[in-house]
């Protein structure tokens, strides 16, 4: 018998999704977003908050802000149990498409300097490094630099 194919589905995040979103954040990140940050993001009309599910399980989420012709990728998270299967790429590609549909000319993001897996994904999708924000992220000891990346959308 052939296993059922995995068909990921994307949909907008709702407040009812927050318990699972927060659980995924805490599993994936040393310094996760809080429920309040997600609630604020969902209430801001400049933002889009999307979920990716597979076989009825929420496996990841992405948050973007758009304004003044720019898009900012604020958060991408895939539950560690589902990492390595292309879900992060699906989320980022989807949000790039959403940014284009909202007439953003450029998308920006910050990534931890130590997060080589994410950096490689963004580079593969066409992002270019344009700067460094020193001591941007909290770390277990001290702070960590963020690399600033940009993607031209037009």
Q: Dump pLDDT digits (tens) for 40-68.
A: 999 999 999 999 999 889 999 999 999 99
Alpha helices (H) along 1-154: 18-28, 35-43, 87-101, 116-124
Is 124 contained in some domain?
Answer: yes
Give the active site residue among 110, 129, 140, 144.
110
Is 119 contained in some domain?
Answer: yes
pLDDT of res. 2: 58
Is 64 contained in some domain?
Answer: yes
Is 4 contained in some domain?
Answer: no
Give the active site residue among 122, 123, 140, 152.
122
Query: What residue numbers bound the domain in which 64 lies?
Result: 9-152
Low-confidence ranges of the chain (pLDDT < 70): 1-6
**CB-neighbour burial class of residue 141 (10 A; exposed 0-12, middle 13-18, buried 19+):** exposed
Site of tokens 């390595």: 84
Total number of domains in the chain: 1
| pTM for this predicted structure | 0.94
> What CATH number is attached to the domain comprising 139?
3.40.630.30
Is 31 contained in some domain?
Answer: yes
Positive or negative CA dihedral for 7, 11, 15, 18?
positive
Strand order in the sheet with 128-138: 9-12, 47-54, 57-67, 70-78, 106-112, 143-152, 128-138
Share of the chain above pLDDT 90, in %: 93
119 flagged as catalytic: no
Give dist(CA 29, CA 136) in Å, integer.
15
Is 1 contained in some domain?
Answer: no
Is 35 contained in some domain?
Answer: yes
Give dist(CA 143, CA 41) in Å, integer.
24
How far is CA 4 from each of CA 10, 54, 70, 82, rounded to the nearest angstrom?
A: 19, 11, 39, 17
110 flagged as catalytic: yes
Is 3 contained in some domain?
Answer: no
């Amino acid at each position: 018998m052939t296993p059922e194919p995995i068909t990921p589905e994307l949909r907008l995040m709702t407040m009812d999704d927050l318990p699972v979103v927060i659980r995924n954040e805490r599993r994936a990140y040393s310094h996760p977003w809080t429920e309040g940050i997600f609630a604020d993001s969902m209430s801001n009309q400049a933002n889009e908050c999307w979920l990716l599910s597979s076989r009825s399980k929420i496996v990841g989420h992405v948050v973007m802000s758009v304004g003044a012709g720019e898009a900012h990728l604020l958060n991408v998270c895939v539950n560690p149990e589902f990492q390595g299967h292309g879900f992060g790429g699906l989320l980022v590609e989807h949000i790039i498409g959403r940014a284009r549909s909202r007439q953003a000319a450029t998308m920006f993001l910050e990534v931890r300097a130590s997060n080589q897996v994410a950096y490689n994904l963004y580079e593969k999708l066409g992002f270019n490094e344009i700067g460094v924000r020193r001591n941007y992220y909290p770390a277990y000891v001290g702070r960590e630099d963020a690399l600033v990346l940009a993607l031209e959308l037009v």
